[in-house]
Amino acid sequence: MSQNPVSCENCSLDNICLPRGLSQSEISNISKVVKARKTLQRGDFIYREGDRFNGILAIKSGSAKLIANDNHGNEHILNILLPGELLGFDGLSNEKHGCAAVALETMTFCILPAESMSQLFQNVPSLTRELFRHSGEKMLEDKNQLVMSKRPAEERLAYFLISLSERLKRRGFSSSEFKLSLTRQEIGNHLGLALETVSRLLKKFQDDDLIVVQNRFIQIKNLDLLKNMLQPED
Amino acid sequence: MSQNPVSCENCSLDNICLPRGLSQSEISNISKVVKARKTLQRGDFIYREGDRFNGILAIKSGSAKLIANDNHGNEHILNILLPGELLGFDGLSNEKHGCAAVALETMTFCILPAESMSQLFQNVPSLTRELFRHSGEKMLEDKNQLVMSKRPAEERLAYFLISLSERLKRRGFSSSEFKLSLTRQEIGNHLGLALETVSRLLKKFQDDDLIVVQNRFIQIKNLDLLKNMLQPED
DNA sequence: CGTATTATTGACTCCATTCAAAGATAGTGG
DNA sequence: CCACTATCTTTGAATGGAGTCAATAATACG
């Protein structure tokens, strides 16, 4: 892997990613230690479960999935990661990654090296604050996933589409049309559904004029109605 | 609420709680700002969803639950918290708590005030490290819960009992006999099961000689067999 | 163009829920 | 201390949502 120096200073993701909320001089400070890594292809591992923790990573372009293995040899897709989102927190607790990260498509990422973290915490206090903020956000996201995991299949899929749409919007992509870099299998795995159920429900959503599906392309036609599925009926 | 000064220096939980991994002088440093709050009773709120974030809390005695509300007016029990465990991370991202914390029984807790955190991060670098470690642990726990949420009812309940037993053990309590401070309703809520299913499965576990249940008292008779339920059959 | 992967659709099955009713436990006040 | 009540727990029977199995269709890829 190449380790080109990279600049957070002129990165288009500066308002979403690590430097969010930092002053110009602070950004320039972290910019000195943040490294860019070479491009990965779909299926490539960013890190594997058990790998030594090397730092907090940030998606620069493309997308990735976080996967955990259970005792039964099954993979579980814990999260989908979009540009500007941080990953690697699963390695914070004991220097070893607790799950794996895999590219979902051609992608690039940056790295805040572990060895410079303690020094940065001293020199750039807002970075500490910001990292805790990111880590708090991850936990709230996990919380939502846990709550949703107890809801029926239809709601889980609706929530998945809505949250994806909103996260894409915040990153300057279209919120109403996007390509899923996931197979039905992977969507089902992530949501705890059989792939056939995902297929059936996407069709149902289309029949109800909520979305248009064409293979992995999704067009959201009626976001409000989709959101209504998450609300009580009355 | 009273705000008695408290000492982490002679707390029996020092190897589990916040001061874990800190030097004597560092512990004495954080000890100066950590406050103890008065005793709460079952059902009392430690904090409510939406409350301003006041700091990271630590259970000193007793236990608590973290609950989130969904759009349907239902409560979801996200986590059970035992002595020495930290809570409040749900308030890190935007200064407001994303869920509520409620006492499960008579309990006490300590608080690391938010206003002293940034200063501590500067003066006690290992505290920053330690807090990230705790936060990483929480995320791995959430990961396990997400993975388990896709497994059948029997495995979920087995995992719940095992993990409770292990956490109690690390805290110096009996790992084989303990009182659940939760109703069947609450266990079911936490695991995404109907209370009747919890009741039936506890009975089944007892019939299989894995445990003895007497109301809310649980005695684990065969931990290995219980753990086998989480392993592949072959 | 042919092969492998992915997606759709239908029929059947089953795990866990819901509904219902009875039984146990704990807490309260007379 | 016991009766009374509210809450919690157990157990049975019926239902249903989503999974599994299976076969076909569409798409991507070398």
Give the total residue count for chain B. 234
Strand C within 7 A of A199 CB? yes
Q: Rounded to an integer, what is the distance from CA B78 to the centroid of its chain?
A: 9
pLDDT per residue of chain A (234 residues) written in tens, 0 to 9: 445 566 899 899 999 999 999 999 999 999 999 998 889 999 999 999 999 999 999 999 999 999 999 988 899 999 999 999 999 999 999 999 999 999 999 999 999 999 999 999 988 999 999 999 999 999 999 999 999 999 999 999 999 999 999 999 999 999 999 999 999 999 999 999 999 999 999 999 999 999 999 999 999 999 999 999 998 755
Residue A44 CA to residue A107 CA, distance in Å, equals: 10
Residues with Cβ within 8 Å of A21's Cβ and at least 6 positions away in sequence, in order, are A126, A129, A130, A133
Q: Which CATH superfamily is domain A3-137 in?
A: Jelly Rolls (2.60.120.10)
CATH of domain A149-228: 1.10.10.10
> Does the beta-carbon distance from B232 to A137 stay under 8 Å?
no
Q: Does A233 touch chain B (CB under 8 A)?
A: no
- Work out the average pLDDT over B116-134: 93
Residues 8-67 of A with CB under 8 A from B: none
Strand partners, A221: none
pLDDT at position A2 is: 46
Q: Does B143 touch chain A (CB under 8 A)?
A: yes
- Work out the average pLDDT over B159-166: 98
CA of B215 to C1' of D4 (A): 22
Q: Which nucleotide is nearest to B152 (CA to C1')?
A: C15
Residues with Cβ within 8 Å of B173's Cβ and at least 6 positions away in sequence, in order, are none
Residue A137 CA to residue B88 CA, distance in Å, equals: 13
- Work out the average pLDDT over B157-179: 96
Residue A162 CA to residue A219 CA, distance in Å, equals: 11
Domain A149-228 in the same topology as domain A3-137: no
Mutate to test the interface with A, among B123, B128, B162 (most CBs of A within 10 A): B128
Contacts of A230 in chain B (CB under 8 A): 71
- CA angle, A76 then B49 then A141, to 5°: 20
pTM: 0.94
- CA angle, B132 then B137 then B142, to 5°: 125
Contacts of B146 in chain A (CB under 8 A): 68, 76, 78, 142, 145-146, 149
pLDDT at position A38 is: 80
Confidence of residue B2 (pLDDT cuts 50, 70, 90): very low
Residues with Cβ within 8 Å of B125's Cβ and at least 6 positions away in sequence, in order, are A118, A121, A122
* Whether pLDDT at B175 is above 50: yes
Q: Of B182, B200, B228, whose CA–CA distance to B66 is shortest?
A: B182
Confidence of residue B72 (pLDDT cuts 50, 70, 90): confident
Residue A51 CA to residue A35 CA, distance in Å, equals: 19
Strand C within 7 A of A215 CB? yes
| Nearest CB neighbour to A93, from listed B76, B122, B140 | B140
Q: Does A1 touch chain B (CB under 8 A)?
A: no
Residues with Cβ within 8 Å of A4's Cβ and at least 6 positions away in sequence, in order, are A35, A36
What is the Rg, in whole angstroms, of the alpha carbon atoms belonging to chain B? 19
pLDDT at position A7 is: 82
Q: Does A4 touch chain B (CB under 8 A)?
A: no
> Does the beta-carbon distance from A149 to B151 stay under 8 Å?
no
Digit-coded pLDDT (tens) for B195-222:
999 999 999 999 999 999 999 999 999 9
Domain extent listing, chain A = 3-137, 149-228
Strand C contact nucleotides, protein CB < 7 Å: 6-11, 15-20, 25-26
pLDDT at position B1 is: 46
Q: Is A91 left (phi over 0), alpha (psi -120 to 50) or beta?
A: alpha
Q: Does B78 touch chain A (CB under 8 A)?
A: yes
φ/ψ (deg, to 5) at B30:
-75, -25
- Three-state SS for B128-174 is HHHHHHHHHHHHHHHHHHHHHCCCCHHHHHHHHHHHHHHHHHHCCCC
| CA A140 vs CA B71, B86, B94, B96, B157: distances in Å | 15, 16, 11, 11, 24
Q: What rounded mean pLDDT belongs to chain B?
A: 93
Confidence of residue B73 (pLDDT cuts 50, 70, 90): confident
